[in-house]
Amino acid sequence: MSHFATIVRVPGDPILGLMDAYRADSNPAKLDLGVGVYKDAQGLTPIPRAVKLAEQGLLQSETTKSYIGGHGDALFCARLAQLVLGVDNPLLQERAAASQTPGGTGALRLAADFIGRCLPNRGIWLSDPTWPIHESIFAAAGLRVGHYPYVGADNQLQVETMLEALNQVPKGDVVLLHACCHNPTGFDLTPRDWKRVLEVVKARELLPLLDFAYQGFGDGLEQDAFAVRLFAAELPELLITSSCSKNFGLYRERTGALLVCAESADKLQDVRSQLAFIARNLWSTPPAHGAAVVASILDNAELKRLWMDELEAMRQRVVSLRLGLVQALQPYGLAERFAHIAQQRGMFSYTGLSPAQVQQLRDKYSVYMVGSGRANMAGLAAQRLDQLARAIARVCI
């Protein structure tokens, strides 16, 4: 008898398939705008100097590899919570705390299992479109998954339609919102939009889950936290998933946290006891290294300054590439059509290119982006902007 005879193969992640096709392309002028990692002008995903320095310190100071606790590294949790909610946020005294997780993905899975176990029969509402892994994580946790409109077929943010849809969400359900740098579209809500979303959240008594995977990549470390801090100040209860993958360049070290804001110190401890229980069954205790690096940086004024400068340089590089691409499209009369690329924030851009145009870009010009027309702007080099603009013009005109 074969135990595995009935197992069928599931398709691989389409973005990873795109990576394979890119690697196999022998055209030396190929362009990779697919996978969501930041690249510098040389096309490398760098390790920030602050991270390297923190690692050198850890090599000397680390005395044990024994387990860290269920909520992870306490210093990391305290400093990350300050980064997310603001250094002097009074909530941090007793009503809010972070639990360390393996990356932002781990935080989302912990949140999903917490909702499934502790808030039964609550659905979760995701933006349409959203990061595809959101869909599978919440489905895997057995939650009812619904969608609210976010960007329409005209490639525009649909705030009114979004608010109308959220107004129909069953009372008490969970709504996932991208706190900044929306993946995959790059379209973010304005502060005014956020205030309107908050009103609906209050009226429908929804529980927001803010996914905060790109703090510092949009408009700046503090500016990007606008929605998170507004919701934390105005609502008694809130879930926030934070990732250190992009802003600390720690992708493979799997570093992130789930932050909980609760109505009282006592309730916070009840929730945290459940999180520790769930995490015990998922990964037992989180990996130590990335969190120790982040804690060393955030707890040391000099390293923190260096890291903030490095992050700001990454952010500004992406912003200038966005402006540069729109300028490079000017000679083709396409600057207005693609003006949204300069307004979008974060690594990704919904370009508005159709799947057929994306295919043509790939087949004829070795430009690789996701079929939805999502381009990783952080994957570009400034000297390749003209080449990309020419290719886009050829498939558009």
Ligand X SMILES: Cc1ncc(COP(=O)(O)O)c(C=O)c1O
- Where do contacts with ligand X occur on this chain (CB under 6 A)? 36, 103-105, 131, 178, 183, 211, 213, 243, 245, 251, 256
Half-sphere exposure of residue 203, counting CA atoms within 13 Å on the CB side? 12
Cα–Cα dist 290/369, whole Å: 30
Neighbour tally for 88: CB within 10 Å: 7
**Inter-residue contact 388 to 328 (CB < 8 Å):** yes
Q: Which is catalytic among the residues 113, 125, 246, 307?
A: 246
- Residue with token string 């250094």: 87
Instruction: Judge whether 246 counts as a catalytic residue.
Output: yes
Closest listed residue to residue 241, CA positions, set 217, 258, 225: 258
151 strand-pairing partners: 157
Give me the catalytic one of 125, 131, 194, 307.
131
Closest CB to ligand X among 239 and 326? Answer: 239
Q: Is 307 a catalytic residue?
A: no
* Given 194, 211, 224, 307, the catalytic residue: 211
Q: How far is the CB of 183 from ligand X (least distance, A)?
A: 4
CA gap 336, 353 in Å, rounded: 14
**Rounded-to-integer distance, Cα 98 and Cα 80, Å:** 8
* DSSP state letter for 206: -
From 261, 307, 293, select the one nearest 75 (Cα to Cα). Answer: 293
Distance CA 16, CA 18 (A): 5
What's the min distance (Å) between Cβ of 276 and ligand X? 20
Burial of 128 (0-12, 13-18, 19+ CB in 10 A): middle
> Least distance (Å) from ligand X to the CB of residue 282?
14
Closer residue to ligand X (CB): 14 or 333: 14
User: Which lies closer to ligand X via its Cβ, residue 250 or residue 385?
Assistant: 250
Minimal distance, residue 203 CB to ligand X, in Å: 26
Residue 178 or 315 having the CB closest to ligand X: 178
CA distance 88 to 329: 45
Nearer to ligand X, 257 or 380 (CB): 257
| 363 HSE (CA, 13 A, CB side) | 8
Rounded CA-CA distance 149/166 in Å is 9
Name the token pair of 91: 């909530």
Identify which of residues 259 and 392 has a Cβ nearer to ligand X in the complex.
259
How would you classify residue 376: left for phi > 0, otherwise alpha for psi between -120 and 50, otherwise beta? beta
Tokens describing residue 236? 């008694």
Nearer of residues 15 and 159 to ligand X, judged by Cβ: 15
Is 211 considered catalytic here?
A: yes
List active site positions.
Answer: 131, 211, 246
